[in-house]
Amino acid sequence: MTALQGLWPEVQDTCTSLGLMLSIVLFTALARVVLQRQMYRPMAHTFVLEFLATFQLCCCTHELQVLSEQEPAHPTWPLTLIYFFSLVHGLTLVGTSSNPCGVMMQMMLGGMSPEIGATRLMAQLIGALCSRYCIGVLWSLGLTRYHVSDRSFVCRNPIHVDLPKAIVIEAICSFIFHSALLHFQEVRTKLRIHLLAALITFLVYAGILSMILMFSFFLPWLYNNHTTNKKE
């Protein structure tokens, strides 16, 4: 009983953070439905959808960082959250990119006009800034012990390695994800979203494992093998 009482504040904080993120998702979904009925100009429609998608994604990302600071009740709990919210974003943000790199890639490949690309990029920037302000206001309310007004928004290194190693891991995971994305184009949308959410969760889990294997086994073996061949 004492152990359960000691665990209860953590459960309350976790439930509060989850409730906050789901409320943000519901709010943006409602705003999307209402504004779609009021917007008739294609450019304004594109801007609003991209703004709401980026706002939702950034708010949930900030709150997931708060959850990551809490002690998980089970080792698989963070991975469960990643899968669940990847699935939620995939189902609710259909038709938007929420990624400036994706927009610029489409523009360079000729799949998107410069006007639409600039509109999407502007919407993403404004949505990210608005999410930062709104989540700061919500944190100042002190809904949980981890919600404090002076929290910093600085970028953090989640895998705690040197920059060159992090770049290699990021490149490998990005290559795997985009390759899977191309191969999943023919799969039904609902099934594709589940597959991509599972892949994102797997890459998050396997990123650190692949980093350990690569820099402690594979690259040294490759270097030694190359040196041996040169000597021969």
User: Rounded to the nearest 5 degrees, what angle is found at the Cα of 168, between the Cα atoms of 206 and 59?
Assistant: 65
Closest CA to 116 of 174, 166, 43: 43
40-91 confidence digits (pLDDT tens): 788 888 898 899 999 999 898 888 888 877 766 666 787 888 888 888 888 8
Q: Whose CA is closest to 17, among 122, 143, 109?
A: 143
pLDDT at 95: 77
pLDDT band at 155 (very low <50, low <70, confident <90, very high): low
Q: Which amino acid is residue 44, in one-letter code?
A: A
Global confidence as pTM: 0.77
Q: In whole angstroms, give the CA distance from residue 223 to residue 219.
A: 6
3-state secondary structure of 113: coil
pLDDT score at 15? 85
Q: Which residues of 99-110 are buried (b: 16+ CB within 10 A; e: fewer)?
A: eeeebeebbeee
Instruction: Return the pLDDT at 223.
Output: 36
For residue 44 the two structure tokens come to 């304004």
CA 149 to chain centre: 23
- pLDDT, residue 220, reads 40
C-beta separation of 57 from 98 below 8 A = yes
How confident is the model at residue 71, as a pLDDT?
67
Asked if pLDDT for residue 6 goes beyond 50, the answer is: no
CA distance 55 to 24: 9
pLDDT > 50? residue 1: no
Nearest to 50 by CA among 66, 31, 69: 31
pLDDT, one tens digit per residue, over 12-29 is 888 888 889 999 999 999
Share of the chain above pLDDT 90, in %: 13
Q: Please say if the pLDDT value at position 31 is more than 60.
A: yes
Q: Per-residue pLDDT tens for 50-61?
A: 999 999 998 988
Average pLDDT, integer, range 142-162: 69
